[in-house]
A and B are shown apart, each in its own frame.
Chain A
Amino acid sequence: MTKQSNVDPTMLWPKKYNEVPKEVFERDELWPIELETIFYGEEWHPIVHRAEIPNPGDYKAAELGEMPIFAVHGEDGEIRVFQNTCTHRGTSLITESSGNKKELECPYHRWLFNLEGELIGCPNSRDYAPGFDRKNFGLAKLRLEEFCGLFFVTMSDKTPPLKEYLGENFYEPLSRILGGDGRLKLIGYQKVMYDCNWKAYCDNDGYHAPLLHKAFSLLNWQGGKGVQNVSENGHLSFESELKIPEDITALEDGSILDFKGTTTSTGSIVQMQFPVTVYSKHMDMLNIRYAFPKGPKGIEVHYAYFSHEDDDEEMVAHRIRQSSNLLGPCGLISMEDASVFSRIDKGNKTPGNAIFQKGVEDEHTLSFTVKQNDESGNLPRWEHYRKRMGFERSES
């Protein structure tokens, strides 16, 4: 990539694998390169679950890097993702975060597209340039793959097929977060802007030590046995047995922590997909966290919550009150995470390296063997990032 020549050559990565230079969170000039090599590169990005746009004409706006895109459910039942731009002069076509349309009309010169993205109307086209052919002016479609109803896009033709890219250790637990068969129903969103670099978000939301959670200790609620799987391309999947005490005395209404699922052995799954997406299934909460970096500073996170099509009324009601009160930017559990994102970002304005410790057996080797509560599960992602960005590792 030509833009890599802009990288400050003094940005040498530390020799030790467990050290990450704090300036990587703070240097604005990295963002255009991250866009090119990561967000527009050989990575898959989840955009929409079918449950979010269940009917023909339903659409959802999103961003890939800085590029506006939208997903739309076609009359033919297919879901497609397009760049949010008229193929004539570039006007954006979708101006709401979600909605339903029968067709997509550009207000500027009234170019009209169907839900499958074909240009079906353009007034006064007899006066157009000689080479104009309506067939060549359909909406720009992104490469798309589906897994359990979740649709992923990539800007590169070279990105490996989705399942190969995610790996079985990742997509198998993901299928359980997505209800096992992907037959989900959207029950709502929580959206928030976190005041940190996108890498500070993904370094800390996917997995962090349970020590952070005062809520856990107050509720006498500590994790059971668990595993952490990491992949060379930076995905991390964490799964643990659920251990909730029978009697919760710290709260007046302990029912908020009830687990109505069938097995506690997989009661808790948290996954971090490179570069910025977190998926989780805590107790009965099914959650996708779509994340949209807003340049080098700030990341907008959309927590989408789901129930399953087979849930009875009681289960849906339970998922709603559990999801609303435990996760997200005000949640009993995850508000503590949120506070750490911006505090880390503030702290990273100091010199030196962030140094990972727990689970690091040899600072000079990258290990993919990670125990349940090790923070070293983040290190393969940093190595993947370093390579994507073309940063040299220091010799000394």
Chain B
Amino acid sequence: MSTVSADIISQIEQLNRQYISALDSLDMTAWLNCFNKKGRYTFTSEENFRRNMPIAFMLDDCYERLQDRVIQVVDIQSDSTEHYQTRHFTQLMAVSALDNGQYQAEFNYSIYYTQHDTNQTLILCVGRYMDVVDISDSVASFIERKAVTDTNVLPRYVAYPV
């Protein structure tokens, strides 16, 4: 594993900030823009991950699925959802270089949510992001973001990506 420069780490952290900022402001277009055209997103439980079971809570395995995630949140489910405000807190745990300007990164995350109808703040889930990041022309984007949640039993239905 080669050493990763401070510049690269900074770009990966910047991408992560764009990502969580997009979700905390529920800007799904900005969320989509964090991924490149090879992008994939998975939200799964630690139990499924540990036992090598492929079912996930969300499984966007191609760019079109990522686009459909935006459609689902914005157009399909918005009238039935009990909406909530999230705050994502993350900490970079590891970065390593792969080939071709790609990097593997891992962040811990904890996500609080405040449901609009109760105004109480609770924990939505806690876990880690396992990422593959592409950096081309000093622009970082996700090839893959996999959110593996320790919270094997979600405290409510989850309406937006984490």
Once the chains are docked, how many angstroms separate the CA of A195 from the CA of B158? 13
Q: Which of B15-23, B45-53, B96-104, B106-114 contacts A (4 or more CB under 8 A)?
A: B45-53
Given known contacts A251-B71, A320-B55, A342-B82, is B65 in contact with A214 (CB within 8 Å)?
no
Q: Is the CB of A192 within 8 A of B54?
A: no
User: In this complex, what residue of A is CB-closest to B82?
Assistant: A339
Once the chains are docked, how many angstroms separate the CA of A195 from the CA of B82? 12
A158 to chain B, nearest CB (A): 33
Q: Which of B4-12, B73-81, B86-94, B130-138 contacts A (4 or more CB under 8 A)?
A: B73-81
Chain A interface residues (CB < 8 Å from chain B) = 97-98, 186-195, 212, 214-215, 218, 250-253, 256, 300, 305, 320-321, 323-325, 328-330, 332, 335-336, 338-340, 342-343, 346
A301 to chain B, nearest CB (A): 9
Once the chains are docked, how many angstroms separate the CA of A113 from the CA of B64? 52
User: In this complex, what residue of B is CB-closest to A341?
Assistant: B157
User: In this complex, what residue of A is CB-closest to B42?
Assistant: A324
Q: Is the CB of A256 within 8 A of B55?
A: no
Interface size on B, residues (CB 8 A): 38
Q: Is the CB of B57 within 8 A of A329?
A: yes
Residues of A contacting B64 in the complex (Cβ-Cβ under 8 angstroms):
251-253
- Determine whether B1 belongs to the interface, using a CB cutoff of 8 Å to chain A: no
With beta carbons under 8 angstroms apart, the residue of B51, B61, B158 that contacts A329 is B158
Q: Is the CB of A335 within 8 A of B152?
A: no
Residues of B contacting A320 in the complex (Cβ-Cβ under 8 angstroms):
54-55, 59
Once the chains are docked, how many angstroms separate the CA of A325 from the CA of B161? 12
Given known contacts A251-B71, A329-B154, is B82 in contact with A343 (CB within 8 Å)?
yes
Q: Is the CB of A342 within 8 A of B55?
A: no
Residues of A contacting B155 in the complex (Cβ-Cβ under 8 angstroms):
192-193
B29 to chain A, nearest CB (A): 14
Residues of B contacting A321 in the complex (Cβ-Cβ under 8 angstroms):
59, 61, 65
User: In this complex, what residue of A is CB-closest to B151?
Assistant: A191
Residues of A contacting B77 in the complex (Cβ-Cβ under 8 angstroms):
214-215, 335-336, 339
Q: Is the CB of B153 within 8 A of A187?
A: no
User: In this complex, what residue of A is CB-closest to B159?
Assistant: A335
- Determine whether B139 belongs to the interface, using a CB cutoff of 8 Å to chain A: no
With beta carbons under 8 angstroms apart, the residue of B54, B58, B72 that contacts A188 is B54
B120 to chain A, nearest CB (A): 11
A392 to chain B, nearest CB (A): 36
Residues of B contacting A214 in the complex (Cβ-Cβ under 8 angstroms):
76-77, 79-80
Residues of A contacting B157 in the complex (Cβ-Cβ under 8 angstroms):
192, 194, 329-330, 335, 338-339
Once the chains are docked, how many angstroms separate the CA of A352 from the CA of B57? 37
